[in-house]
Structure 1
Amino acid sequence: MYQQLQGVSETVNRMDAKIDTLAAQGVQLSDHEVRLRHLEERRLPQSTMTWLSLAAAAGAAFMSAWPHH
């Protein structure tokens, strides 16, 4: 039981150190958030283009399968 408590205590101490490090890097974290949001905004048009390409390909496949007279 004592060893388990020691393990938990060590884990809590490591987490505390990580939290302190992250808090000291607050500016860097906010910059990272801005970069992530920018990447997410750029991703939307790409998915829109994918859907448009898929619709065009489906239309072309449908037209090629349509019997011509």
Structure 2
Amino acid sequence: MTLDRSVIAFAGSMVLVSVALTVWVSPLFVWFTVFVGLNMIQSAFTGFCPAALVLRKLGIRPGPAF
């Protein structure tokens, strides 16, 4: 799996986790969903993704986007 696909999988997992936390724990977790969404948008425009930096250090091979 390349870094690009890993970042997408990680972002999708975080969205699902944050929605579950919003439904079952506290409605305030919706802000976590907002944070993930905003981070995905800024990454699309700037090419900078903190998750990509961490995953790259963990040894996942780079893809064409990151």
* TM category, shorter: 0.3 to 0.5
| Larger RCO, structures 1/2 (Cα 8 Å, 6+ apart) | 2
TM-score using structure 2 length: 0.35
Bigger fraction of residues in helix: 1
TM-score using structure 1 length: 0.34
Q: State which structure, 1 or 2, has the greater radius of gyration over its C-alpha atoms.
A: 1
